[in-house]
Amino acid sequence: PYEESSYYRTLESEDNMLRVGQVLGDALENMGIGVIHDTTLHDYPSYTGSYGNARKTLKAYLEREPTLQLLLDIHRDASDGANGSQLITAGTVGGQKSSQLMMVVGTDATGNYFPGWQENLSLALKLTALLEQTDPGLTRPVTLREHRFNMDLTPGSLIVEVGAAGDRLEEALLAANAFARAVLVLAEGANNG
């Protein structure tokens, strides 16, 4: 339960995607991976222009920290059902009910310059495979989109859909921790060969 600031949405950072991002960031830092967690609400009060707003923020970070290797845009899916209910995802982590994860990869299908988008696709497929090895059914299929979603700014960029608006926060947090473990496995593999 949370206080809605708009339809299926709250500005309370303890109850929204900022909390999921914080838990993910904390888990990565506890595993020895440095994190910058930006909490700017790029999509408030309107979704219109949110990627343009986020682009400015990302460019500023990349100027200050040009060695960033992984940029994650943390989302949750939102889709109304026929009766007005929200989509619920169903995964498990260690036998506990969790949200499912879905990697979204932008492409250059609209004609916007985006060489190397396939690197992000490769990253998404690797992370999905790792997650499925440890917790089968935790992921939804990788989704390719025709827009760039700022992923053209640097390799190692993904949108990660952590569950959906119908999921419980605790389920999303469990999935975020599983995602952090997969990132660690991938990072350790990259550093060992």
- The CB-side HSE value for 62 (13 A sphere, CA atoms) comes to 17
N-to-C CA span, the chain = 46
Report, as an integer, the average pLDDT of 145-151.
96
109 phi, psi to nearest 5 deg: -65, -25
Amino acid 14: pLDDT: 82
The span from the CA of 13 to the CA of 78, in Å, is 18
pLDDT higher than 90, residue 167? yes
Amino acid 109: pLDDT: 95
pTM across the whole model: 0.92
Which band of pLDDT confidence, cut at 50, 70 and 90, is reported for residue 46? confident
Which band of pLDDT confidence, cut at 50, 70 and 90, is reported for residue 8? low
Is 143 strand, coil or helix? Answer: strand
With beta carbons less than 8 A apart as the criterion, state whether 124 and 158 touch: yes
The span from the CA of 81 to the CA of 85, in Å, is 5
pLDDT higher than 70, residue 7? no
DSSP of 35-94, one letter per residue? Answer: -------TTSS-STTHHHHHHHHHHHHHHH-TT---EEEEEEE--B-TTSPBP---EEET
pLDDT higher than 70, residue 52? yes
Amino acid 1: pLDDT: 66
Name the least confident of 3-17, 52-66, 140-154. Answer: 3-17
Q: For the chain, what is the mean pLDDT?
A: 92
Which band of pLDDT confidence, cut at 50, 70 and 90, is reported for residue 5? low
